[in-house]
Amino acid sequence: MKIEKGKISGLHLMFSVSCFLQASTLLTSFFVSISKRDSWIAVLIACVAFLPVLWVYLRLMESHPGKNLFEINDAVFGRIAGRIISAIYTSFFLTLTSLNLRDMGDFVKQTIMSRTPYVVLIGICMVMSAWDVHSGGLRQITKFGFAFTVTSLFIVIFTTVQTAGQMDLNNFLPMFDMPLETYAHSANIILTIPFAELIVFLPIFCNMENPKQKLRKYVFGGFAIGGATLLLVTLRDTAVLGNTMDFFAMPAFETLRMVSLTQTLSRMEILFAFILITLLFFKITWLYYITVISTAQVLNFRDYRQLVLPVGMIVTVYSFILYPNVLAHIASGREIAPLLWLVCEVFLPAVTLLVGKIKKAIRSARPSGGGTAAPASNNDPSF
């Protein structure tokens, strides 16, 4: 049973993926504080390490054509176990939504509107997201991916050029002088927090307009743009900030503060903050949408739009109770999250793929049916 009936084109998908990744360029402090000036190396390692994970996602989609993530779970694990695993995914998506909502609230509150209470900031964002999800659905949300991606790329390149006068290439040296586990830790963080969050696209990979279009090239295209932006931002921040980079909670924003066009046209980081907030909003809306359709799918709801508002309230309250304070958030992001997220983002899809393949192999070894373990609903044409 399919929840989302809308179809999107491959290009929309590509730009949504890149937009999603670009939204994470603000929150580089998680891994920058560990790998410091070699952070760009960690980004490259994570890019390479993510390729197999991406392959797992794509294979999963391709071996069960036309099905979204939850239907695959049902098909591979059976109805009950499938539902449980889908529920695990749903709670993961819920956590991600609340985390990003909290991050956005933190960003806006600390830099721009320091006296506005969190509730107001988060509430306004949620109202807009809820409206977006309720009225538009998939097509609506992905419409602006292109504009945001282009604007964000432009801003990154513009600020890189503007701060070129303050860059010192000596800040990159010496390279490779940190213990190996730093690189592993840092690459792990980059892998789980920006990159493997792409698992949230799994539920709608099958909603492309033209199913014959190669899913791979669009997803890789989006990942390439997003990954390149992250690399460029890390390089720029290392060149400008040097060894002070690990001091700051938001190094990318500090670099933006250093941009000054002339003596008068300086201190204008608020303009860049606009696009950062917009990107974060895109990410939150997307995650919210995915959470809602996951919940609808798990609970066997026919129309996800009824669930938008209650789930929204749960997300809002959850974002308050997630972490008691900033320090717990940072500690968790550095120590727990890279390993905990791996379960949902890498382990479960890989196991699903494996079990699916084994089942297929077993079934094709017994051509005349009678397989008692054959799952119930794996053959319905779900269009």
Which residue of 80, 180, 321, 327 would you call a contact of other proteins, by CB under 8 A? 321
**Which residues inside 245-274 make contact with other proteins, applying CB under 8 A?**
247, 254, 257-258, 260, 263, 266-267
Which residue of 157, 313, 326, 358 would you call a contact of other proteins, by CB under 8 A? 313
DSSP H stretches of helix in the chain: 10-22, 29-35, 39-63, 69-77, 79-111, 118-135, 138-142, 145-162, 180-190, 215-241, 251-257, 269-298, 308-321, 326-335, 337-342, 348-365
Which residue of 276, 307, 344, 348 would you call a contact of other proteins, by CB under 8 A? 307
Only one of the segments 60-68, 226-234, 299-307, 367-375 lies at the binding site for other proteins (rule: CB under 8 A); that segment is 299-307
Whether 85 contacts 73, CB under 8 Å = yes
Residue 6 or 123: the one with the smaller Cβ distance to other proteins is 123
Whether 267 contacts 260, CB under 8 Å = yes
Report the SS3 class of residue 65: coil
Q: State the Cα–Cα distance between residues 287 and 220, nearest whole angstrom.
A: 20
Which residue of 60, 61, 215, 241 would you call a contact of other proteins, by CB under 8 A? 241
**Four-point Cα dihedral 256, 259, 264, 267, nearest 10:** 20
Does 127 help bind other proteins (rule: CB under 8 A)?
Answer: yes
- Amino acid at residue number 201: F
Does 382 help bind other proteins (rule: CB under 8 A)?
Answer: no
Rounded to whole angstroms, the maximal C-alpha distance in the chain is 80
Residue 18 or 98: the one with the smaller Cβ distance to other proteins is 98
- Amino acid at residue number 186: S
Does 112 help bind other proteins (rule: CB under 8 A)?
Answer: yes
Whether 34 contacts 189, CB under 8 Å = yes
Which residue of 209, 323, 330, 350 would you call a contact of other proteins, by CB under 8 A? 323
Does 5 help bind other proteins (rule: CB under 8 A)?
Answer: no
Residues that bind other proteins (CB under 8 A): 91, 95, 110-117, 120-121, 123-124, 127-128, 131, 170, 173-174, 177, 185, 241-244, 247, 254, 257-258, 260, 263, 266-267, 295, 299-303, 306-307, 309-311, 313-314, 316-318, 320-324, 328, 332, 334-336, 338-340
